[in-house]
Structure 1
């Protein structure tokens, strides 16, 4: 199954490319019932980089991506899936379950949550901004706004110290 392609290229931003690829890979793993490791391998071999052609996002490729970050995000979601899903679910309204979300939006929230939870290499606000750019690349409707609210709430819980008032 082919993962959806983002509409906006990352124009030389390998960390953004890694995040786009992670969202696509998580979507593909869920939709196709494939293991995360198999999908990581497929992406590294067939979808990340130009691979001798000028195919890009519209063809499901990610021209530039930080492969170690890509793998870290996808593996982080796989390793901590139950905790990540429970954490995201706690930030959804009572009338919405995680399963009710668009599968690409679900993959995006999982990737962002894994990155927020998996360390402090990247400031939380940067993680939110990166995933908001990605959300706008995949969606034209209200999904980016919805994602922003959930990600802000997640970040404030997972990285409260970064949001504490400064003296």
Structure 2
């Protein structure tokens, strides 16, 4: 019977959890779409249309997906300027999956202060675990850990990043 109590206690939290889950799916799809944009140079509107047709967007934060997909390319120069000093290799030698994830996460750190920096870092790590090379998540983690204090100094206390 306590299982039923747990289930009913969880019900009020479902909308927030749903929003978190919808954002997570939006990030995952955006990372894949940004990878496609980087590799094929296809128009963003075409990529977005394709993703909306090929995927069930009923459980996706579609506005967030759109913001990430169009925001990253719009801010690409600024994003890359922030990333380059933190990388151990030239930008053109980066794994394209890791680059797409780092660009997406950097965009979120720059523009979505409503998303806590620890969430941005964790989501970037999780995307790298799913889509990246074997230890790609460690690389993504290292770069984002260095970047967060620079972009979120008010949120990240010195020594607490």
- Whether these two folds match at TM > 0.5 is yes
1:147 to 137, 140, 144: 140
Count of residues in Structure 1 that have an aligned counterpart in Structure 2: 141
Give the structure with higher Rg (CA): 2
1:135 to 128, 134, 139: 128
Q: Is the 8 A contact 2:68 2:104 kept in 1?
A: yes
User: Is residue 2:153 matched to residue 1:164?
Assistant: no
Name the counterpart of 1:4: none
1: CA distance between counterparts of 2:56 and 2:143? Answer: 28
Equivalent positions of 1:1-167 (< 5 A) are 13-49=21-57, 64-93=59-88, 96-139=89-132, 141-164=134-157
Q: Is the 8 A contact 2:24 2:123 kept in 1?
A: yes
RMSD: 2.0
Deviation at residue 137 of structure 1 after TM alignment:
1.0
1: CA distance between counterparts of 2:47 and 2:134? Answer: 28
Higher relative contact order (CA 8 A, sep 6+): 1
Q: Is the 8 A contact 1:76 1:118 kept in 2?
A: no
Deviation at residue 45 of structure 1 after TM alignment:
2.3
Q: Is the 8 A contact 1:22 1:74 kept in 2?
A: yes
Gaps of 5+ in 2: 1-17
TM-score (norm 2): 0.80
Query: Where in structure 1 do 4 or more consecutive aligned residues deviate above 4 Å?
Result: none
Deviation at residue 140 of structure 1 after TM alignment:
5.2
Deviation at residue 134 of structure 1 after TM alignment:
1.3
Deviation at residue 148 of structure 1 after TM alignment:
0.1
Q: Which range moved further: 36-45 or 129-138?
A: 36-45
1: CA distance between counterparts of 2:133 and 2:86? Answer: 22
Deviation at residue 153 of structure 1 after TM alignment:
1.1
Deviation at residue 158 of structure 1 after TM alignment:
0.7
Gaps of 5+ in 1: 1-11, 51-63
Name the counterpart of 1:59: none
Deviation at residue 161 of structure 1 after TM alignment:
1.0
